[in-house]
Structure 1
Amino acid sequence: MNGLNARYLTADELAGLAFASCGENVRIHSTAVLVNCQNISLADHIRIDPFCVISAGTRVTIGRNVHIASFASVIGAAEVEIGDFVGISQGCRILAASDDFDGTFLTGPTLPAKYTRVHKEPVRLDRHAVVGAGSVVLPGCEVGEGAIVGALSLVNQDLEPWRIYAGVPARAIRDRKRDLLALEAEYLRQTPPPHLK
């Protein structure tokens, strides 16, 4: 790729990171920060853009045909599962852990556990979900299959499949069309997929 600071890791560099698993056509920008790679499972056809952070305190699983855009963070102190065909837009925060901020405990990772109370719950983004730019998904939430989260939204509860949500907190606006499922089926029937020919 021609450009300034536009380098993605080579296959040898990816192999050296010792992921739990790593599929084909995985592209991770050289400025991404990946913590505990042994807890990260990557399927095929994934792109992780510049300045992303993926911290896998436990297991982070990323499905096929997933794009994680620049400056996004996936913080997995509890399990994070990202389904096939999911899009995580610029500057999103996917959080499987958060400090308790009510004032009963201290906050921050520099303190011994007895002084803090960290809320850890799995997060799941089901297939075809899209999280819009600058949005935050809090611990314990599931973004249902095909659900859309509009830009700058806060997800603090489970979102139903095939709905479009926006706001703080995120609220349903309308249903989402499912026409894309026919395109998915066509794409999956092709061997190899068109972008790998």
Structure 2
Amino acid sequence: MAFLTREQIFEMGFIHVGENVKLSDKASYYNCANITIGNNVRIDDFCVISAGTGGIVIGSYIHIAVYSLLTGAGKITLNDFSGLSSRVSIYSSSDDYSGASMTNPTVPDEFTCVKSADISVGRHVIVGAGSIVLPGVIIEEGVAVGALSLVSKNCLAFGIYSGVPVKRIKERKNDFLDLEQKLRNKLTDN
């Protein structure tokens, strides 16, 4: 996997890009003027990061694995230490599928009924491969979403969710909070 150089990244016009950022040169980045990227971020091959009017905020220590998609008019926030496994799709906008309106972006807005709403992926959240997150969802801190899940409703902190649609199946340990503090202490000592 080849990564863009620091100079290439700055030329793209992001709002902010932190340190130790690795962006694949095979991923696609749209509307970079609406995208913020923190420190220690890696975005892998064939991802599409397409910011709408709400923008995309990618915190620090975040991995977005191959073929993932972030798109839509609503704001998408990935908080620190969160991660998206391969083929995760996050949509902050969605057409109305009921048949009451027309669909797709080639049709004038007056004939469609697109729903757009902000999405927040909390700290230490991991979203499993092939999962889909729909507009307006808040995935709280420490949640794990199992592979091939449909996240159409909020997920409460420190739970493991899975299914179509997702259901809370059990509690998730939070040992990673102690490990985060050890990491921060190590970084402060250096």
Equivalent in the alignment of 2:16: 21
For the aligned residue pairs, the C-alpha RMSD in angstroms reads 1.2
Equivalent in the alignment of 1:154: 150
Which consecutive residues of structure 2, in runs of 5 or more, have no partner in the other structure?
none
Which consecutive residues of structure 1, in runs of 5 or more, have no partner in the other structure?
1-5
Equivalent in the alignment of 1:3: none
Equivalent in the alignment of 1:88: 84
Counterpart CA distance in 2 for 1:143 and 1:191 is 28
Equivalent in the alignment of 1:11: 6
Question: Post-superposition shift, 1:192?
Answer: 6.8
Counterpart CA distance in 1 for 2:16 and 2:102 is 36
Change (3 A) 1:192 1:110: farther
- Residue 170 (structure 1) aligned to one of 166, 170, 176: 166
- Give TM-score, length-normalised by structure 2: 0.97
Equivalent in the alignment of 2:33: 38
User: Does the alignment pair 1:116 with 2:103?
Assistant: no
Q: How many residue pairs were aligned?
A: 189
CA deviation map 1:11-39 (0-9, x unaligned): 01001011011000111101111110000
Equivalent in the alignment of 2:52: 57
Counterpart CA distance in 2 for 1:35 and 1:153 is 26
Task: Return structure 1 stretches of 4+ with deviation > 3 angstroms.
Answer: none
- Give TM-score, length-normalised by structure 1: 0.93
Q: Is this contact kept in 2: 1:60–1:76, CA < 8 A? A: no
Q: Give the secondary-structure state (helix, strand or coil) at the position aligned to 1:100.
A: coil
Counterpart CA distance in 1 for 2:138 and 2:91 is 11
Counterpart CA distance in 1 for 2:32 and 2:136 is 22
Question: Post-superposition shift, 1:76?
Answer: 3.1
Counterpart CA distance in 2 for 1:144 and 1:67 is 18
Equivalent in the alignment of 2:187: 191
